[in-house]
Structure 1
Amino acid sequence: MINMDELNSDVLECQFSGIGAIVQKANTMNEELIRLEIGDTDYTPPKMLIDAIIEQYQNGKTHYSSFRGEDSLISSICAMYSKKSNLQINPEEILITSGGSMGLYITFKTILSRDDEVIVLEPAWSHFGEIIKLVGGKVSRVGLNPDKDFDIDCKLIEKFITEKTRAIVVNHPNNPTGRIYSKKELNKLIALAKKYDLYIVCDEEYQVFEFDRKLFPIYKMYDKIITIRSFSKTYAMPGLRLGYVLASELLIHEMVKVSLYTNMYNSTLIQAAVAQVMENDKDFPNNIRDEYKRRRDILYEELNKIRNVRVIKSEGGMYLWVDFRKVSMDERKIVELLRTRGKIIIVPGSCFGESGRGFARISLSADVKILREAARKIQMCIEEMLT
């Protein structure tokens, strides 16, 4: 008989994602729903990527890759940073990973020892905290102020720093709020990290979705900054699992060990195909960004018509962050009523931490016609709650 007490305590401490539970429940519902809970695009990968996968398969790209990743992909990433951000990245500063989540795991496994603490700025994707716990670290959650648009508050963050603190996690464009932090905010955060000799782990998963403000890349501004990105949203390919870590050459050398003995190698085929697309398809990422900005503008306008509802206009990302606090009802109950009455699935803000209470995240991954219908149903349900 299996004794749970004999299992790894770090694994037992981890919790399944609240968003995952919502997705699983929706998958079992035998009725027509408007699904606005998932962090996936409704696009298919560009034809050029599909063609490149076939071509690379025919070229025999089915064998092991090198430890850090395919040279062609690493070179394409270096070229992209040079052209877009005027940053000169050395190939030795890049580790290819099987998606952004594996990049996070490898990062935390490399920089944390048992019971080291990591500050996570909330609202935040719940996986940050669970991955930290999985590698034996401790999570220190700092809830940013919703009435100050969740600005980075370095004075507040400093109060949570202890002798065990090793890193601060920042995510922008932020999931769920859509914030793209200003250069001024990020410079203050870097100064704080330098003061206490802390790592900054910067998750830029949604970097392709820049709407009203350009993402300010902080990599290279401090030698203890680690940046993590993936291609999941850039080319609508989350199921193909490909991402990368940027870090100092010294850190990457150690991260390769973790990668080798966990993930071992990434798909040579997918790496080569993505490298080929990066060289030749400049339109797809821009087109998907422009379409999501259009959807954001339309849904933002529609939802702002609803009494007692305030919508945060996302500066980037794939979501709208909606403030239901003036509805005077727990947001989890609001989300449940929207599911049962409106047949709409969205995510309660509490899934992203205590500072998310009273809010909800709505995905933009649906056709404009569906988003308008969702807004109409949300308005109908909220009016019922207010009467």
Structure 2
Amino acid sequence: MTVDVWELTDPPEATTVVVIGAGPAGLTVANLLRRSGIDCVVLERQSRAYVGQRQRAGIVETRAVRMFESWGLADRVLGGVPSEGILEFRVDGERHLVRDYDHDGSAGPPARICPQQVLVQKLIAAYLEDGGDLRFEAADVSLHDLTGDRPTVRYRAADGTPRSLTCSFVAGCDGDHGISRAAVPAGALTAHAYDHGIGWLTVLADAPPPAHPLFAVSEHGFAAHFPRGPHSSRFYLQCPPDDDPGAWPDTRVRDALRTRLADPALPFGPITDREVFRLRSLVHDPLRYGRLFLVGDAAHIVSPMGGKGMNLALYGADLFARAVRDVVRNDDETALRDYSRRCLRRVWNDQEFSDWLTRTLHDAGDDTLHGPFRRNLARARLDRLFTSPAAGRAFAELMTGVEPD
């Protein structure tokens, strides 16, 4: 006779929200709920050390900074330094500086150059300092009764003990390959997927950061250079989507960057990480199944151009936390019912901007993929960005993320 191991555990614990995943989305949800006096438990399958060192995006846009300020958390969780609000576009070696921030102050606070691992570390510290319940190394997580009044979340604790939690809501913040979205029955969500047909070699190196985040366009292909700390840089090189990172030894990476960035003397130190990935976009609709709400990469993937992925996760976390607060405090489910629609409006807006920027900067360089006609169209868009104040303001509005909700 087979015995269900879950029947051998103590009665389930009860909480209001179970948050699956301790990335930027999950930790922001947890901190905002904690600030609202709403109890929650965060389950993360990795260790705290692993979560705190994951290298990802590095810009917290103006809208997200303003959000953290509104919750009284900005000083506690936003490391890094304020962005100067300037991007450099280097076209065939010619420099063009473009503002990505409204410097008259009407847009709100400046964006922050804050690597994701710094934000995550500070979000963890803030949550635990405020008495939050964060459980690392939670294995075999599974979701049950999502369409009922009290879903159940089962998992194994770090010591192997089976545990279970009942809750009012589940926040699925565990990424594109997590268990949250996998728990949704087939056909309940529609996936809108798009492959951009572009690959990037991404390299983390011990090299001085640029004066400004830098995009470079030339006949040799796209390249970019971004700060990742006072002595560290993230570089990107356009490559075939199925390229092998092993085909890019240090010397080839260095030479390609110096050529594409039009900087023959570019300082370049040891490479600490390299990988090739495809630029792709994905949107799920709706972002809710029963009492499960998808937040961040579990809900959508955005091409990295424009730095919208993490910022969309923070936006969704804010919407979800406020909606739950309305239910708990006022028994008002209006915002909860509207969560998916409001999130998706922002998601599609940012997807369009990211796609526009991706096409523009890749089509404007190497024309072997789409030919000279598309190349000249892309160059015209860049020229308009560099010369038209109206185009510059529209670009800044989209970059800062402060366009009307």
TM-score, L = length of structure 1: 0.23
Structure number with bigger Rg: 2
Q: Which has the higher contact order (CA 8 A, sep 6+)?
A: 1
Higher helix share: 1
TM-score, L = length of structure 2: 0.23
